Amino acid sequence: MKYLLSTLLLIAFITDINSQKSSLNEKITKSATGGIESFREVYIDLHQNPELSLMEVKTAGKMAEQLKKLGFEVTAGVGGNGVVGIFRNGDGKVIMLRTDMDALPVKENTGLPYASNVVMKDAKGNENPVMHACGHDLHMTTWLGTLRTLTELKSYWKGTLIAVGQPAEEGTIGAQTMLDDNLFGRFPVPDLALAYHVSPELPSGTIGYYPGPIFAGVQTAEITVYGSGGHGATPHKTIDPVVLSAKMILDIQTIVSRKINPTKPAVVTVGSIHGGTRANIIPDEVKMLLTIRFFEMEVYKTIRESLINIARGAAISAGLPEEKMPLIVFDEPLDLPVSNDPQLVMEAVKSMKDILGETNVIQVDPAMVAEDFGKYGLTDEKIPIGLFWLGGVNTESYKEYEKKLKKLPPLHNSSFAPDFDPTFRTGVTAMSRTIIDLFGNKRLLK
């Protein structure tokens, strides 16, 4: 009899918990859907009025104004154009939700009725067409929608919510400028931090996750290859830096294939090569720009050492003296990988699957693109971070893509345009449920 009573009580308890979750899911879904028209207007305004990195003055002002309307304590001008909002809702965890705000120097070719026609000068005074070719307009709108849902449903959680609008993500410097402006000294230190990045490869209605390093570490290198120039008709009287550069480029392609463990992802790309002025002049030097991408520091060290050895080896074989050895400059600081906290990610995945369904939350492979969100997790505070892909591809377009009938424009492409309505609803729904659950999650206390 006692066993039967205990079983019945357990069943009743589980039934009550499931009922509460179902009720919460309904309220989150209703909030994410309600008012979508006004958020679509915000999105269109942001899309039509993009601003380049470190110039997001009007965009930051819009984010600050929206946060004030939601009841946040707002501080602008953090680390340049950064915006920080604080919403205090009793004792509990401190959770940070970040969005980025900057756009790219790309001329829009989406054909949308609200396409950007903005042209603005960059830091060097050069005029550039500008568009949100990386989805930061969607990031901001989904961020605002999530914050609105969380404030509407504040009776379901206790703690402090920190909303961070970050500048200059595209240059991977905005996070650092905010940290250098004492972000975690002036404001509460988060127990954990979350963010989205829209995906050009996942259909709207889905979330992509990876419980570990999800985005690569990145470094740019410049190699100056020296030679001894002369007339193109007498190459035997010169040491041709163009030929030396060509040899180096071919050898550089063997670094990943022959120096790196095949199970360790890495990329070394020569993206720019410049030398010479005329067809009949062999120049004195050639400059090359490279990007290095990696997930582990040992892999990075191997790539760096190999580049030095390849460059010097080619120069020595050509008979160049020591003072004419290639000059290699590695940009600093090094952008380290965005390394998701596995426990945090898997706890979030439980929440996302509960509200979106098992099949709509997908484990993906790490990507070689860069993001500076990882810097928030590399401070002395050792904050666990979770960055998730937010599927943004129109479902019909995705079906055509699966049938190989259509190509999908990648990030930074002039035709990139996420499907707003379903992507926004999914992002707000999944992140709202996740944050509410994380506020009450005792396993993730620091």
Closest CA to 146 of 92, 107, 194: 194
Q: Which residues, at least 6 apart from 131, have a Cβ–Cβ distance to it below 8 Å? A: 47, 50, 103, 104, 106, 107, 108, 115, 116, 118, 414
Cross-strand bridge partners of residue 165: 83, 99
CA distance 86 to 78: 13
Cross-strand bridge partners of residue 52: 103
CA distance 172 to 131: 18
Given the residues 100, 240, 347, 371, the one annotated as active site: 100
Conformation bin of residue 357: beta by default, left when phi > 0, alpha when psi is -120 to 50: left
* Cα 136 to Cα 13, 70, 112, 142, distances in angstroms: 43, 21, 17, 10
CA distance 314 to 86: 56
Residue with tokens 């940009």: 331
Residue with tokens 């997908």: 362
Given the residues 51, 56, 108, 170, the one annotated as active site: 170
Burial 9-31 (b: 16+ CB within 10 A, else e): eeeeeeeeeeeeeeebbebbbeb
Q: Is 65 an annotated catalytic residue?
A: no
Strands (E) across 295-405 are located at 327-330, 338-339, 361-363, 385-393
What would the two tokens of residue 246 be? 């060509």
Q: Is 251 an annotated catalytic residue?
A: no
Closest CA to 222 of 153, 292, 134, 128: 292
Strands (E) across 131-265 are located at 159-166, 192-203, 207-209, 213-215, 217-226, 230-231
Query: Annotated active-site positions, please?
Result: 100, 170
